[in-house]
Structure 1
Amino acid sequence: MASEHPHPSADGAIRDAWIARADVLLTAARRYATPGAGRIHFPGEEGGYGHAVDGLEGFARTFLLAGFRIAGARGEGVDDLIAHYRRGVVSGVDPDAPDRWVRMDEHAQAKVEAASIALVLDLTRPWIWDHLDETTRGRVIDYLAPVVGDDTYPQTNWVWFRLVVQTFLRSVGGPWSADDIAADLARHDSFVREGGWLSDGDERSYDHYVGWALHVYPILWARMAGAADLAGDRTPVDVARLDAFLFDAFALVGGDGSPLIQGRSLIYRFAAAAPFWAGVIAEVPSHSPGRLRHAAERIVDHFAERGAPDADGILTMGWHGPWRALAQSYSGPGSPYWAVKGFLGLLLPADHPVWAAPAEPLPVEDGDAVRAIAAPGWIVSATATDGIVRVVNHGTDHAFPDARVADSPLYARIGYSTATAPFVDERGWLEPLEQSVALVDADGRATHRTAMTLLTARVQDDADGRVGVAASTWDAHVVEPAPMTHRHGSGLAGIVTRVGRLTVHSLVRGSAEVRIAVVDELEPEQDAAALRLRVGGWPLSGDELIGGTDDTGAWVFARGRSSGIRALDATAAPVLVSRADADPLGVRALVPTVEHAVVPGMPVVTLIDLAGGERIAPTVDVSLDDATATVVWPDGIRTVSRLTNSESPAPAARHHEVRSGTSHAIAKEQHA
């Protein structure tokens, strides 16, 4: 898919377009500022942390964008912006002001927002900090000082909030701790994984925080006043990690500019552009400025063209438009403004070469590709004709390896893409359906896979063709969840009952996945006849859906895309499952699924397809023989893949064929 964006001209038009979009956000924000400018209260439902925290978030997060604008303009032509946010700082740290900032000893969320405030005070030092009176400077230091020695920071990307604040405090003569800084840097390094990836903590937490937090903060921190004294020789290492990560980050952006719809905090939307700008700032060696800027542009364009921000210049809690269930329970109207990290490039002045660099395409715009990402256990398959990027997931669940909890729909599904969304309504947190393999009992309870063991994630490249191969095995368990006050993205805990063990292999090429599932064993008290094995395909949602079934499979068309599933077992039952208001992409969703009888040790083979246009899942021929799977793919390519490993028994020899077939039942659903 070729880029429709012209090369930038030397007259600054590209940067001016970025400024215009940023100023829409900033102008709207100022309309909702308190009289003292210390808080910004955007319209919308109050967040789970209360009105005062909402107002602090509104100030601190838009202050980030203001800081990028002011620093990139070198303070010229932004006098009103400087004056407004300078006035907000004065009011925010005044203990007697009605719009004073929530303190860290009042609510932990202030620790997050304090980092944005400290970072921008450093970026805009000549225009804001240097013009504050001595009383206000002292109050700022007093406001930030509680971070020193505070060991209650979560050991995740939050360590950077303490690092940034203490680095600023040190630069202005405030208190700081060398031990805290050393500990936080060491903790960050403990998150490092293969290929430039980092886990957001000790859990298997791979999501957009890898890019917009764990890679962005080291790059910005290294440029703070005095940070070079603290960084030592670590900055080249941080840059090298970012450089490596960006190869995968590029591959995860869809042809329409959509980021991967996976992980928590998706209401931050175009913050997904931030690591590409960080690459420009860090001058990574492997990626050109034009390609990095183009990726950021495609992401921001994607949302701007689909209603984010809205007609009033406001970022709502949602994906394109408002959809509250996508936010975490604690999120408030100011929370989405972490999205402004996607405008990080405005730090770069008008004479920076990135603004005149020719745009270079994303990988999916160049052609089809399949790649393995080792750390999260993903196979990525992108197709240029429809611009869809798909991820088959066998290693990420936002949990510890020994956890037995319900699956988080944001992390533990088998598939994610740039064209589909997981179900994150209440039922989606309780029941794996879309992109799952689950044992389902007579009461409709479905098993979960969290704490799966990653067996492999690799690309097989031989003379016949490339195919992605990934596999995992897990204890299939049902969960009776316990009540929870706040949800932060992890699966729900509760009373767990083990049902059995499942192993799944995925063979991926183009738009298709051949999924091989084996019920390795059942608990002695489980009756196989009372269970069914359900395989769920890609969900599609929209205002108008067309779905159908035939003898071996089911399919659905929506928004110019098709999702299909085909069983290779003639006794399987195709079922088209409907959900209302389950994801942010449409008012109704359909999931093509197939259900099988449960026969321990017998492999069940299914074809799952997601593509542009309206088509029924294509023909695929699959043969299983001892430890290998031979597949003849829709394009005629034949691949042979080894399946066995120490934890997965070899399937019995079988031959299967999936054919598109002739429909004998078609259902059309239209939302009134």
Structure 2
Amino acid sequence: MHVSEDRRTFIDNGRPRPDWLRDDWLRLADRMLAATHRHASPGHARIDLPGAEGGYGHDVDGLEGFARTFLLAGFRIAGARGTGVDELIDRYATGLATGTDPSSPERWTRLTEHSQAKVEAASIALILDLTRPWLWDHLDPRVRERIVDYLSPVVGDDTYPRINWVWFRLVVQTFLRSVGGPWSAAEIEADLAAHDSFRRAGGWLADGPSRAFDHYSGWALQLYPFLWARMSGAAELAAGRLERYTDDLDRYLLDALALVGGDGSPLLQGRSLIYRFAAAAPFWAGVLAEVPSTPVGQLRHAADRVVRHFVERGAPDAAGLLSVGWHGPWPRLAQSYSGPGSPYWASKGLLGIALPAEHPVWTAPAEPLPIERGDVLRAVPAPGWLISGTRADGIVRVINHGTDHGFEGRARADSPLYARLGYSTATAPVLDEPGWTAPVDQSVVLVDGAGNTTHRTGMRTLFVRAEGSVGLAGSAGPVHWVRADDSGPDHGEGRAGTVRPAGRITVVSLVRGPFEVRLARVDEAVPDVARLRIGGWPGPLSRLTAILPSASESGFATHDDAGPLENPVRVPWIDHQVQVGAWTATLVTLSAEPPANPHCHVELDEDVRVTWPDGVTTRHHLTVPSQP
């Protein structure tokens, strides 16, 4: 891919590919809104979308359908400045009146009845503020009173989880404050302080106190501060904070841009992936914040590539609807809180339509993504990631030595969405039942005589850095077998269960382009351990080659209906005999084109010398703790 002289048209596989114009974005929004309107209840308070009932029940599903499409409708109304969207305004005004009417059979689930209503209330409050001159100001005073009554239980409610949910309480209380409703200065300060506690190196934000790094950092924690700061009456509350929020977003976006694949795919990692092109939201947040380090043309182009990745692959579908899935329907990608309306958080990826036609983002020259310029290598200390992208095939890979949705030293089962050693824009982690209970893909595990594989959640990050063209990262710690208990809710983290210690493993990755030299050392092993297994990337683009010592056995694990990209999913693995204190080395490759030479050479003494498949030799000194 390259950029033509007009700086707006990208050439993809020999074909001109201009960025969408604003009218193209509006057509997508209008198509989605028209499709969902066909599933509205008579009083427009609920949008009951097709699909299996969500884990929270039909009433919550209907509220979610209203609130999340209200986000998109609000962006559309605000961008039009209320002109030419009268029908849209009327529909949602009717829905607001009906949903807050306690006597209506379509009444909304209240905040005191189900916690999910707290999430949806934030979308309602945010859009009521954003569209205030065209919607709120024209509502019947009795309806406005009912809305305030509906939202008011947020005040004094200390049950909001201390994760991205703090922004739901912040947004609602800020709106209530602006319309003379109840609010608490102390609770607003507490929620802002909670957000500050999520801050990590490089502008990253963890979704709570655990090592939970995923798309929520961008589509929630980096987005809401800027939507909130623009709310009526928020300027005083945001004073002294907005500069810090902008700096965090500015630095975070340098990594987020590098995580977009050449085909526009976001990284397939973390929970709530059914929100799809919500992954474009932080780029629009960067436009709102006027971040200094990234041109608006690049931010718009990134959002364009992410949204169109899905649109061109069937999401929305022929009926204009978003299913529970990735490109197409794949229900297993949902969490227990997901319902048929949940995917419409994807509306956040269309935030740009709230910007008027005269905004410079719509005429700024397109600037290429990092992977459209060349190969990418970035070390990201906060999540413990090495980002390696190759322009030739457009694949972005993340080698993970720091994220597990857990805490250092606290053992539980691995989540395939967080704890694998690698994620990419071209592969999905194995998500069938064995994917949760018996890790193989992108893993280094100990295997007992019965074939049980270990989990690594609780490991310690050793280092994450780049040296020239090579990225280096390492992690170490106890590994354990887990008899998992799957009776709890699925919020994306690994399952709790009965833990049985298996030993200790140190893993070091040296990454260059599509190649990873994975060094693994068993530091301790209990007698039950039979072998050491190295698992590669899932899917047809994966290759795994033993370097030292020679493997005792190798093969493929085949999983049916285990991912949204292909079926079945095949994962290569290599087994080694366990030699405590000895290193193994494996070449792990993910590439759309098979390398001309699929081998490399590694020498290990005080330093590591690697002769890569292209013949280049690099040398690195690793500070790795000796075995206990």
Give the structure 2 partner of residue 384 of structure 1: 391
Change (3 A) 1:563 1:316: farther
> Are residues 1:635 and 2:611 paired?
no
Q: Distance in 2 between matches of 1:576 and 1:101?
A: 50
Q: Is the 8 A contact 1:537 1:565 kept in 2?
A: no
Question: What amino acid does structure 2 have at the position aligned with 1:55?
Answer: G
Among candidates 504, 507, 512, match of residue 507 of structure 2:
504
CA separation of 1:32/1:583 partners in 2, compared to 1, >3 Å: closer, same or farther? same
Q: Quote how far apart the aligned CAs of 1:614 are.
A: 4.2
Deviation string 1:53-91 (CA, Å, 9 cap, x unpaired) is 000000000000000000011001111111111111011
Q: Which moved more, 1:231-240 or 1:380-389?
A: 231-240
Partners of 1:564 and 1:616 within 8 A in 2: no
Among 620, 639, 658, the alignment partner of 2:600 is 620
Cα distance in 2 for partners of 1:411, 1:500 equals 21
Compare 399-408 and 256-265 and name the one that shifted more: 399-408
Moved more, 481-490 or 13-22: 481-490
- Per-residue CA distance 1:90-148 (angstroms, 9 max, x = gap): 11101111111110111000000000000000000011101111111110000000001
Over residues 543-592 of structure 1, what are the superposed CA-to-partner deviations in whole Å (9 max), with x where a residue is unaligned? xxxxxxxxxxxxxx4xxx45344343224322122111111111211111
Q: Secondary structure at the match of 2:306?
A: helix
1:230 aligns with 2:210: no
Residues 1:648 and 1:254: Cα distance change in structure 2 (over 3 Å): farther
Specify the alignment match of 1:520 in structure 2: 523
Question: Which of 128, 131, 134 is equivalent to 1:121?
Answer: 128
Q: Which residue of 1 aligns with 2:211?
A: 204
| Structure-1 separation of matches of 2:339 and 2:376 | 39
Give the secondary structure class of the aligned counterpart of 1:237: helix
Does the 8 A contact of 2:100 with 2:108 survive in 1?
A: yes
Deviation at 1:3, TM superposition (A): 5.3
The answer for the alignment partner of 1:572 in structure 2 is: 552
Please state whether the residue corresponding to 1:587 is helix, strand or coil: coil
Amino acid at match of 1:175: P
Partner deviation per Cα, 1:227-273 (whole Å, 9 max, x = no partner): 00111211111011100100000000000000000000000000000
Contact 1:12–1:350 (Cα < 8 Å) also in 2: no
- Checking the alignment, whether the CA contact within 8 Å between 2:536 and 2:542 is kept in structure 1 is no
Higher mean C-alpha deviation, range 180-189 or range 610-619: 610-619
Alignment partners' CA distance in 2, 1:527 and 1:352:
65
Which deviates the most, 338-347 or 482-491? 482-491
Select the residue among 429, 442, 462 that pairs with 1:422: 429
**Match of 1:539, as an amino acid?**
P
1:53-452 alignment runs, 5 A limit: 53-452=60-459
Task: Give secondary structure in 2 for the equivalent of 1:358.
Answer: coil
Quote the Cα distance in structure 2 between the aligned partners of 1:136 and 1:505.
60
Report if the CA contact (8 A) 1:609-1:617 is conserved: no
Q: Give the TM-score normalised by the residue count of structure 1.
A: 0.90
Report the identity percentage.
60
**Matched residue SS, 2:561:** strand
User: 2:535 is matched with which residue?
Assistant: 536
Map of 1:484 onto structure 2: 487
Shift of 1:378: 0.4
Once the 2 structures are TM-superposed, how far is the Cα of residue 351 of structure 1 from its aligned partner?
0.4
Identify if the C-alpha distance between structure 1 residues 373 and 633 changes in structure 2 by more than 3 Å, giving closer, same or farther: same
**Helix, strand or coil: the match of 1:473?**
strand
Q: Distance in 1 between matches of 2:566 and 2:189?
A: 47
Given that 1:505 and 1:517 are in contact with CA atoms closer than 8 Å, whether structure 2 keeps it comes out as: yes
Three-state SS of the structure 2 residue aligned to 1:631 is strand
For 1:599 and 1:8, locate their aligned partners in 2 and report how far apart those are by CA, in whole Å. Answer: 56
After TM superposition, what 4+ stretches of structure 1 lie above 6 angstroms from structure 2? Answer: none
Match runs of 1:43-58 below 5 Å: 43-58=50-65
Question: SS of the counterpart of 1:582?
Answer: coil
TM-score normalised according to structure 2 size: 0.97
Over the aligned positions, Cα root-mean-square deviation in angstroms equals 1.6
For 1:617 and 1:485, the matched residues in 2 are separated by 47
Q: 1:5 to 1:301 in 2, by over 3 A?
A: farther
Find the residue that maps to 1:253 and give its secondary structure.
coil
Counterpart of 1:662 in structure 2 is: none
C-alpha offsets along residues 618-641 of structure 1, whole Å, 9 cap, x if unaligned? 221110013x21001122221111
C-alpha deviation, 1:615, in angstroms? 5.0
Q: Structure 2 stretches of 5 or more lacking a match?
A: 10-17
Number of the residue aligned with 1:2: 2
User: Who is 2:14 aligned against?
Assistant: none
**Equivalents in 1 of 2:145, 2:3: separation in Å?**
51
Change (3 A) 1:6 1:583: farther
SS across alignment from 1:586: coil
